[in-house]
């Protein structure tokens, strides 16, 4: 890309006020190092994106004359020279980032909260982000979620039944965590959540419900009780029998690993299917117990989404820190689910500089060919980029760029679908 055509670099002052730099241009990282932008890497920032600044850490910009990457510790504002800090974006759901923000993390002594930090710049009155749209799905479009409709819907929902602890938990998720799935329960449409598990057999570096590592606060409070089967079944039957494209999903951001409660889930599924045949019963899981996946398939599960940050066992283990299971169990669960004819999805937690390494693409192709998985979610991994790169074992495998990675997968694995959101299967 012509340097003069690059958007201007952004930076922020210590109050978080954002400025576009008058000279330096936007830069982006792949892993821990700068990577040039290609023409189609940049796109106008979608409306429901967020902007962050990175305290203590100066931005890195491009000198449009030399092409050099430069750390920019200060900026002149109204004649005053002041320290400046890097700016990053969190892109609206459905977009995959191609570049991480370009940041000098050396002064950083804290861990950033869990967001999908993305490179962002400014040009012609608009922000430009480094990313591309993976899937548009109106059911996950933030414009469809107006809380002026939600509160009356919750009141109406609770008038019609005696709300139990799970309903109260999901009210908090809908109102305070702004979980779209929880809002859908009360709005009686699309995908709704059924969290059930308090514990987990993994210790993900970026776990959003429990941060045992003294890093940063988890973004959700993990469910602290075991819901009753009756409440689970009643909520699910009501939802599936009424909601257009209805899905109920076990395995949410506000819980541990649902397979730790496979008896409760299995019994609930059987009860649900006695009362309605409508909609999809889905499970989002870390896929650590293949035999429990088989049992839930036999009890009536329709679809499954199994998460992984990498198809390379060493990188998987470094992030998930699994207890009493390994990456081979996760792959076995994907295969078991396909053999049981579940609609099987991988929740691929993608990261520029890791996911687009040739070694990773080969490993992913191996998993897809071995299992016959139907769908791959290309989900931006929400984590402090510096922490992630420090933790993962390094590999000097060549990177091809995130967009190019998706083109390779689409061309070489035409039977697997790439997207971003859960798919109804009934
Ligand atoms: S598998 Fe889920 S609940 Fe368990 S540690 Fe990872 S993100 Fe957290």
Domain coordinates in residue numbering, the chain: 3-133, 138-419
| C-alpha of residue 371 to centroid of ligand 1, in Å | 23
| CB-based pocket (< 6 A), ligand 1 | 200, 202-204, 207, 209-210, 256-257, 286
pLDDT at 26: 98
pLDDT at 67: 96
**Residues 55-73, mean pLDDT to the nearest whole number:** 97
**What class does CATH assign to 138-419?**
alpha beta
If you take atom 7 of ligand 1, which residue's CA is the nearest one?
A: 207
| C-alpha of residue 241 to centroid of ligand 1, in Å | 30
pLDDT at 162: 87
Q: What is the pLDDT of residues 158-198, one digit of tens each?
A: 998 889 999 999 999 999 999 999 999 999 999 999 999 99
Mean pLDDT of the chain: 96
Q: What is the pLDDT of residues 295-348, one digit of tens each?
A: 999 999 999 999 999 999 999 999 999 999 999 999 999 999 999 999 999 999
Those residues with Cβ within 8 angstroms of residue 297's Cβ, 6 or more apart along the chain or in another chain: 304, 336, 337, 340, 341, 342
| C-alpha of residue 183 to centroid of ligand 1, in Å | 22
| C-alpha of residue 242 to centroid of ligand 1, in Å | 31
**Residues 137-165, mean pLDDT to the nearest whole number:** 95
Q: Quick one: which atom of ligand 1 is closest to the CA of 206?
A: 7
pLDDT at residue 199 tops 80: yes
- The residue to mutate among 204, 252, 310, 347, having the most atoms of ligand 1 within 8 angstroms of its beta carbon, is 204
pLDDT at residue 213 tops 90: no
| C-alpha of residue 202 to centroid of ligand 1, in Å | 6
């Amino acid at each position: 890309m012509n340097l003069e055509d690059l958007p201007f670099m952004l930076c922020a002052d210590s109050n978080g006020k954002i400025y576009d730099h008058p000279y330096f241009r936007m830069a982006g990282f792949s892993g821990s190092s700068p990577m040039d932008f290609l023409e189609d890497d940049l796109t106008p920032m979608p409306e429901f994106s967020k902007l962050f600044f990175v305290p203590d850490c100066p931005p890195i910009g491009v000198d449009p004359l030399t092409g050099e990457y430069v750390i920019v510790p200060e900026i002149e504002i109204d004649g005053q020279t002041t320290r400046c800090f890097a700016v990053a974006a969190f892109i609206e759901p459905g977009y995959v980032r191609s570049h991480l923000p370009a940041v000098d993390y050396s002064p950083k002594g804290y861990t950033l909260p869990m967001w999908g930090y993305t490179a962002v710049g400014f040009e012609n009155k608009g922000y430009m982000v480094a990313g591309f749209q993976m899937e548009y799905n109106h059911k996950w479009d933030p414009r469809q979620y107006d809380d002026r409709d939600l509160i009356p819907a919750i009141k109406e929902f609770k008038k019609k039944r005696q709300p139990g602890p799970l309903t109260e938990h999901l009210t908090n998720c809908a109102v305070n965590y702004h979980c779209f799935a929880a809002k859908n329960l009360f709005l009686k449409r699309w995908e709704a959540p059924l969290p059930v598990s308090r514990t987990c057999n993994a210790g993900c570096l970026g776990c959003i419900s429990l941060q045992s590592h003294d890093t940063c606060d988890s973004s959700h409070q993990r469910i602290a009780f075991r819901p009753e089967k009756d409440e689970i079944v009643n909520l699910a039957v009501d939802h599936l029998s009424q909601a257009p494209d209805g899905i109920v999903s076990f395995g949410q951001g506000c819980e541990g690993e649902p397979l730790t409660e496979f008896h409760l889930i299995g019994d609930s599924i059987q009860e649900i299917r006695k009362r309605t045949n409508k909609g999809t019963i889905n499970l989002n899981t870390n896929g650590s117990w293949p035999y429990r996946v088989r049992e839930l398939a036999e009890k009536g599960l329709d679809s499954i989404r199994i998460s992984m940050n990498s198809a390379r066992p060493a990188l998987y283990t470094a992030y998930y820190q699994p207890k009493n299971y390994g990456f081979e169990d996760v792959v076995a669960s994907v295969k078991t689910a396909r053999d049981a004819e579940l609609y099987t999805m991988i929740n691929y937690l993608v990261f520029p500089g890791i996911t687009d390494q040739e070694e990773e693409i080969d490993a992913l192709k191996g998993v897809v060919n071995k299992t016959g998985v139907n769908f791959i979610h290309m989900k931006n991994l929400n984590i402090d980029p510096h922490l992630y790169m420090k933790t993962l074992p390094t590999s000097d495998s060549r990177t091809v760029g995130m967009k190019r990675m998706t083109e390779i997968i689409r061309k070489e694995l035409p039977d697997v679908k790439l997207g971003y959101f859960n798919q109804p299967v009934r």
